[in-house]
Each structure stands twice: as structure tokens, then as C-alpha cells.
Structure 1
Amino acid sequence: MTDTTCLPAEPAVRATQTETPAGLTPLMVILIEIALAAGGFGIGTGEFAIMGLLPDVATSYGVSVPDAGQVISAYALGVVVGAPIIAVLAAKLSRRTLLLLLMGLFALGNVTSALAPDFLSFTALRFITGLPHGAYFGVAALVAASMAPPHRRARAVGRVMLGLTIATLIGTPVATFLGQIVSWRAAFGMVGGIGVLTVVLLALYLPKDQVSEGASIRRELGAFARLQVWLMLAVAAVGFGGMFSIFSYIAKTTTDTAGLPASMIAVVLALFGVGMNVGNVLGSRMADYSLNGTIGGMLAFNVVLMSVFSLTAHDPVMLCICVFLTGCGFAACPAVQTRLMDVAADAQTLAAASNHSAFNIANALGAWLGGLVISAGYGYGATGYVGAVLSFLGLLVFGLSVLLERRPSGRL
């Protein structure tokens, strides 16, 4: 039986969505989804490629690698800040117009990053480039869901997110290779080109739409007046920090804990990327069957998996298996995105965009806490225990969310 406990009544769904032109053929829907996914591919490539190019950036600007790492933080800060602000300020724009503007800003940010004359301007441009990240994914998810029947919405969201997950497997390695062979500037130029291509595809295939009646800044801000929205953002920010706790230090875990040669780091990273793609495909299907079951089940799965990771990180085979399964934890992302769209009622844009702010907070939180346990002398393998604790806390918050939802009064 399909889980519909978190789905709003059908009239409410129609009232909160921008009107989509009737008569979209299956081919048109596929082309639109490809265009939306292309943007996700560009964003994912640009976000992760910098991690492999930091030494080159540091050398180019004459700064240390740790100092160069500030550009990663600047981009993440741009995502956290930009998603809710853009979603609110653009409340009266059609989704097509907003997506074109967001991807245009992303393309411009990457092209100018490639031309930045000094480290300060490069850091500022990475912050600016991060601004459209969350809002793009949020609006793209809404567009994809609006074209799908209710029982296939999560799969539509998952297909858009496939652009991001494929970027970790193909886009990032290609950009990193290009950056190392030619120049890191060429890598950002390539990402900017993907952004331009996405603008063209969206302009060609995404039909013009109308802003929903009553759309306003005040209505979007209403999302933050809903307890369920805050609870789901907390689930994303805390519950999925474990993935980043492990991933942030996976290179050193591979070499120092598992004793594998440095040449195996790329293989381990590829396993994580494959896991993300598998998780995205399977997770979106599971979410269409049961949103609550998918979110809660994956959080519980992560508690066990990440504990096993810490216990077996010294074993090369178990490390590879656990890294692949950790990547599979991405299965919860389409479900979390879809549930946030549901609980936000008529303020879906802000809630959907803020989800990506929450995941970037999870990134920062997981990496920070992982660093603390490593600095305390517990070793790189202990990052799994950090992930298990964060997943358990996320599970508790999600349990509270479901419990409150099932009580008409909203009280415990």
C-alpha cells in the first residue's frame, strides 16, 4: 500500500503549484527533465571539482592549501544564504524565468571565477556562484514534480537530482583532470560552459508558465511559520551530516587506516559516486511507495552502517563496501525534498530551496565534528561513529515530526 500520510489533499497540491501548460507529451517531459538535470550536473561538477584542484589554486595565488580551502567554505556559505533569500525575493517570478536567471548567474559566476585576478576576488566570486545553487535545485524539483502524477513525484525529483549524482562520477573527475592537465581556470570555464548550455536547453524546452495566484514574499515566508518545515530542515541538517563526516576524510581513512596505497583513493571515491547514483535511483522509487518509510528507514540504516564503518575501517574490503553503501545513503534525498514540498503547503519554493541550505549545513557540521574526533586522537575511522550519532539524532527528530503530524492538535 502506498504511504500517503504526508501528502496534502489534491486540491491543495494544485493550488500551490505554478500552472504548467497542458498537453506536455512524454518526449517533452523527458527533454525538460534532461535540461533540469544538466543544470544539476554543472552545479555538482563545479562544487566538487575544486576539492581536487585546491593545490593548483593555492600555487596560482601564492597561498597555502588550508587558506585556499576557504573558497570551499565561501561557496557553501553562498548556498546557505542564497537559497532562502532568492526563494523569497523571487516569489513573484515564474519558475521558468527564475531558473533561467539562476543558471545564468551560475554560468557567469564560474566564467568570472576562471578569470579572477587575485585570491580575494576568487573567494568572493565563489560565494556569488554558490548563491543560486539551492534555489535552482529547489525550483527544478518543483517543476519536475508538477509534471508527474502524485505517485511518481519522487522519481521525477530523483531524475533531476541524477544530474548531481552523475557529476560526482563523471563531471568532477573530468573537470579535475582538465584542471590538472591544462589549468584550474579551464576547469571553471568548462563548468561555466555547462551553465550556458543549460540556459539554452531550458529556454528551448521549458514552456512558459504563469505565477500562481496569490504568490508573494509574505506567503513564501510563511514556510518558516510551520513547525513541520523546521523539523524536516533539522532532519536534513543533522541526520545526514554523517555522510559528510565520513566523506570529508575518506582519503586519509583509505591510506592511514585501511593501509591502501594513495592510488586507491580514486577507486574509493568512485565507489562513493556509484553508491550515490544507485541510492538516488532506488531511493526515489522507494519514496513514491513510502515517503516516511524511506526517510526513517535510511536514517536507521545509516546508524548501523556507520557504526560498522568505524568497526571495520581497517579492513580494505569492508572499507570499500561501507563507502559504497554510505553513498547509497543519498537515497533519502529525493524523499526529504518531496516531503518538504508537502509540509510547506503554499510556500513550496522557499522550503524546497532551503533543503539544500540544510544539506550544506550537514556538510559543515559533519566535517567539523569528524575533525574534532580525529584531533582528539580517535583516528579517521571514528568519523563513522560521528555519523551514527548524527543519524540517530536525525531519526529522533523525524520521529517527532511524524508523531506531531499524526496528532490533529499538533501536540504531544
Structure 2
Amino acid sequence: MGLLPQIADGIDVSIPAAGHVVSAYALGVVVGAPLIATLAAKVPRKTQLVALMAAFAVANIASALAVSYGSLMVARFLSGLPHGTFFGIGSVVAASMVAPNRRTWAVSMMLAGLTVANVIGVPLSTLMGQHLGWQYPYAFVGALAIACVAAVIAWIPVQPADENASATKELKALTRPQVWLALGIGTVGFGGMFATFSYITPTMTDLAGFSESTVPLILVVYGVGMTIGATVAGKVSQFGLMRGIIGSLSLIALLLAVFGFLAQGKVTAVIAVFLLGFLPTILVPMLQTRLMDVAQEGQSLAAALNHSTLNAANALGAWMGSVVLSRGYGYEWPSRLGALLAVGGVFIALVSVWLGRREAAR
């Protein structure tokens, strides 16, 4: 997302069109997460992690070698295919290693890798893309993925395949209304955040008046917000998963409603970017745990689908942002549209609570 201007220049398209590259990766996650999680239900989890990260490495190197808009779109789609299942299986492995009351904490620690990526990796890749070319960050990510394969082989304990697992049992989770409601919370609720963050570079340069060279530092602020959010997610969940989810989404809606105004001053823009990282990151582990709770026997599929829904939100947000911008509205408008999506997520969460109470009463 931080490289959209460089990608747009490199493959000779507009910035809104370059935003579709973000959507292509996200759609790869949406397709790959349920498909791979279901087909690989009986494969040992460590084997899955190794194979998925190896595929991720190959696809990112292919992204670096892409020479046209079409080939880059295909490479980004293929890069997204392993993403959801990798994080989903990783979350299940993490949760299986701790006591039941520490599952949200374990999942948040596994997902904390994403926060480190945003503190170090995203600013570094943006800086690299600005000075060396947009292809180099993709090659760098491919090299990191190869290192990750070695780390998984060396350090993740062997977990035998679940003999009782099957594609049928995994898919049974999709017959539960609460699963679909949890997926809806993620897709709709997070769409607003991605509508804003997909265009964070031009928003900071055009509205706040920062130079392009300052953007990597602003992305560090976003990553710090994510890191702090990940550390408090477990504590927030102790007040109740659904209370935490509804409260977090309400605050996200409020932030997005005023983000366009805050982004027009340098100090307030930095504060807004920090909160844009902080608030959604509190929500992710709680949504992950909620899905694993309501899916029952379909743990692997449910855990993977959380990332599928977040990337559906990614694709939806990036696309909706491009529509707004293509019609001539300024960079303050994607976040205003995003606020409505966050309110929609709150509504779905309230429906989930109501349905749960009705089932309990029965």
C-alpha cells in the first residue's frame, strides 16, 4: 500500500488502478483460505505451514519479476492464496499450546508478527521501493519467506494430523449462522479501515503536506499502534469477546468519521494514523477467537476464514476507495465512506449477540 505511487509509475497506470493490485492480493486470500484449509484438513499442521510459506516465497519472487499490469495482478493473486491458511493454522497451533483461558492471548502473540511487519517491514519496503524500485521489496519479501520456511522447520513442534478431521467436518462450520455473522463483522467492519489505509501515502502527502520521504516514518507510527493494540487485545477480551468486538468497532467508526479532518494537520494526522493501527489490531484476535468458538469442529477452516474475511474487507475497501477517488473526490472521502462500513459491522455484531441470547434462552 505504501508503494502505490511507485507501482503506478512503473507499470504506467493511475494510482486508483494501482490500488487494484492490493485487491488482487486480498482476493487471493479470500479464495485460498477456505479452499486450502478444507482440502488440507488431514495434512499435519507443520507440513501445511512449510508448504504454504514456500508457495508464498515463489509467488512474491514472481511479483518482483512481473513486467506488466496484468502479470503483476496475477502474481499478487497467487501470493495471496497461502496467506489465510498460513495465519489460520498458525493461530490454531498457538492456541493449542496454552490453557483455554489464554487462547486469545496466544493468538494475539502469533498475530503480533503482523505488527512487527508494520513497524519494520512496511516502512523498510516503502523506503526500498522509493529508492531502488517497486520490484525490490517483493524480492525481499520472497527472501524473508524462504527464511521463514527454515524457521518453521527448525522451531515449530511436530503436531500429528487429526485423524478425525475431514473436509466434510470442516465445511460443517459453514452451516452455523454465527459463523457467517462473525465473517460478516470482519468483512464489513474492516472494509472502512482498508478504504483509508490503502491510500495512506497520497493521503499523507496531499492532505497533511508530508513529503514522500516522510511516509515510511508515518508507517512506523501505524506499526507501533498495531503493536500496542496486539498487546492489549487479550486484556480487552477478558471483559467479554462480543463486548470487546462491539466497543472496538464503535471506536473505529468514530475515528474514520473524523479521519479526513484530522489528516489535514501534521500532528493530528500522525495521531490518527497511530489510532488507525491501534484500534483494528485489538479487534483481530477477538474475531479470530470468536470464529474458533462458534465453528466448533471446523477449527482450521474457521481460523483461515478470519483472514479471508479481513482480506475481503481489504479488497472491498481498496475498491470502494478507488471508486470515490475516480469520481473526483479528495483523499479525505474514503475514510468517511469507511465510517459507514464500520457502523455496519457494529450492526452485524449486535445481531450476533441477539441471536446468541435467543439460542441460550431456548
Q: Report if TM-score (shorter chain) is over 0.5.
A: yes
Amino acid at match of 2:7: L
Q: Distance in 1 between the 2:337 and 2:344 partners?
A: 11
User: 1:384, 1:110 → 2: CA distance?
Assistant: 29
Aligned to 2:158: 208
Deviation for aligned residue 1:56: 6.5
Name the CA shift for 1:50/1:129 in 2 (closer, same or farther; >3 Å).
farther
Quote the Cα distance in structure 2 between the aligned partners of 1:137 and 1:177.
26
Aligned to 2:89: 139
TM-score normalized by the length of structure 1: 0.80
The answer for unaligned runs of 5 or more in structure 2 is none
Query: Could you give the per-residue CA deviations for residues 324-362 of structure 1, whole angstroms, max 9, x where no partner exists?
Result: 112112210011011111111000111111111111121
Q: Tell me, in whole angstroms, the C-alpha distance in 2 between the residues paired with 1:218 and 1:145.
A: 23
C-alpha deviation, 1:184, in angstroms: 4.2
Q: CA deviation at 1:297?
A: 0.9
How big is the shift at 1:366? 2.2
For 1:240-389, what aligned pairs fall within 5 Å after superposition?
Answer: 240-329=190-279, 330-374=281-325, 379-389=330-340
Q: Distance in 2 between matches of 1:234 and 1:163?
A: 25
Higher mean C-alpha deviation, range 212-221 or range 265-274:
265-274
Counterpart code for 1:392: V
Aligned equivalent of 1:228, options 178, 184, 205: 178
What residue is the counterpart of 1:31 in the other structure?
none
CA distance 1:192–1:271, change in 2 (3 Å): same
Shift of 1:85: 0.4
Which shows bigger deviation, 147-156 or 108-117? 108-117
- Cα shift at 1:302: 1.5
CA spacing shift, 1:203–1:405, aligned 2, 3 Å: same
- Name the CA distance, whole Å, in 2 between partners of 1:190 and 1:259: 30
1:268 is aligned with what amino acid? I
Give the AA of the match of 1:211: A
Q: Secondary structure at the match of 1:92?
A: coil
Query: RCO greater where, 1 or 2, for CA within 8 Å and sep 6 or more?
Result: 2
1:397 aligns with 2:342: no
**For the residues of structure 2 that align with 1:65 and 1:188, how far apart are their CA atoms?**
20
* Matched letter for residue 178 of structure 2: Q
**Is the counterpart of residue 165 in structure 1 residue 115 in structure 2?**
yes
SS of alignment partner, residue 200 of structure 1: helix
Distance of 2:71 and 2:143 partners within structure 1: 21
8 Å Cα contact 1:82-1:130 kept in structure 2: yes
* Distance of 1:311 and 1:178 partners within structure 2: 30
Q: Please state whether the residue corresponding to 1:153 is helix, strand or coil.
A: helix
Q: In the comparison of the two structures, how many residue pairs are matched?
A: 360
Q: Which amino acid aligns with 2:101?
A: H
Q: Distance in 1 between matches of 2:6 and 2:95?
A: 35
Matched, 1:64 2:13: yes
Identity score, percent: 44
The CA distance in 1 between the partners of 2:156 and 2:268, in whole Å, is 45
Q: What's the TM-score, normalizing by structure 2?
A: 0.90
1:235-280: CA deviations, max 9, x gaps?
A: 0000111211221233333333334444443343332222112112
Which of 30, 54, 57 is the aligned partner of 2:7? 54
2:64 is aligned to 114
Q: Is the 8 A contact 1:52 1:176 kept in 2?
A: no
